[in-house]
Amino acid sequence: MTGSVIIAGLGPGAESMVTPDVAAALADATDVVGYFPYVARVAPRDGLTLHGSDNRVEVDRATHALQMASEGRRVVVVSSGDPGVFAMASAVFEALEAGPAAWRSLSIKVLPGITAMLAAAAAAGAPLGHDFCAINLSDNLKPWDVVENRLRLAARADFAMAFYNPRSASRPHQFTRTLEVLREECEPARLILFARAVSTPDQSLRWETLENARPEMADMRTMVIVGSSRTRRIDGTEIVYTPRSVA
């Protein structure tokens, strides 16, 4: 087979954060596959077909990409951020494992991207400077009790935490419950970053204490980073960081 699939991360939003490898892959592609808003970030050109689809058809999208590649096309599957972080890389490999054996001889490559988590942390300082974890607060693909258990254990372990998909219109109650769990496990002065539309002209950064955090401070364009018990702000600055060591 001469076709290929490249699974690429477009970064958090700014064009300057798209890596040269990803830009080169897009320039060589015959087809780009992804969620509508991410495909819309790719400039149309002759010889390129854009295939946008809904956000809840990841495996169907991946299957389509693999099928086109098996027909000799050069397909790029796009995600925002990094494709291996709550994005399309796993979906493509799920489809590959379930699909025809012949697909396994395709050229398949994952190109990393800058995640919203890392872009938000960099904009704020270094809140992920020591041990941290990332948790997807959506329960579309796992039960909420799994989310809550992981959240509680991470808080008890004193990780800094980065939350993806914190609060949508269809499930606003879940971030409310997230804050309740954090208040049960953490001190009121724990620092929380609400980083919205990171790297775009609409970017906003807001630090709050856990005591003062409110559910409506987050939406689906917001990356929420919860500091560990050692995360601190440097006096006289807006810089927040987590020290590298634990006494």
Domain ranges of the chain: 4-114, 117-241
Report how far residue 127's alpha carbon sits from residue 120's, in angstroms, rounded to the nearest whole number. 9
The backbone torsions φ and ψ at residue 221, rounded to the nearest 5 degrees and listed phi first, read: -100, 10
pLDDT of res. 55: 81
Do 123 and 94 meet the contact criterion of CB atoms below 8 Å apart? no
- In this prediction, residue 182 carries a pLDDT of 98
Check residue 1 and give its pLDDT.
56
Superfamily of domain 4-114: Tetrapyrrole methylase, N-terminal domain (3.40.1010.10)
**How far, in Å, CA of 165 to CA of 12, rounded?**
14
pLDDT for 215? 95
Q: Which CATH class is domain 117-241?
A: alpha beta
Q: Per residue, what are the HEC states of the chain?
A: CCCEEEEEECECCCHHHCCHHHHHHHHHCCEEEEEHHHHCCCCCCCCCEEEEECCCCHHHHHHHHHHHHHCCCEEEEEECECCCCCCHHHHHHHHHHHCCHHHHHCEEEEECCCCHHHHHHHHHEECCCCCEEEEECCCCCCCHHHHHHHHHHHHHCCCEEEEECCCCCCCCHHHHHHHHHHHHHCCCCCEEEEEECCCCCCCEEEEEECCCCCHHHCCCCEEEEECCCCCEECCCCCCEECCCCCC
pLDDT in tens, the chain (247 residues): 589 999 999 999 999 999 999 999 999 999 999 999 999 999 999 999 999 998 889 999 999 999 999 999 999 999 999 999 999 999 999 999 999 999 999 999 999 999 999 999 999 999 999 999 999 999 888 999 999 999 999 999 999 999 999 987 777 789 999 999 999 999 999 999 999 999 999 999 999 999 999 999 999 899 999 999 999 999 999 999 999 988 8
pTM of the complete model: 0.92
Q: Which two tokens stand for residue 82?
A: 């990094």
Q: Could you give the C-alpha distances from 60 to 4, 10, 93, 211, in angstroms and in order?
A: 17, 20, 12, 42
| Of residues 83, 78, 96, the one with CA closest to residue 35 | 78
**Structural tokens at position 120:** 């938000």
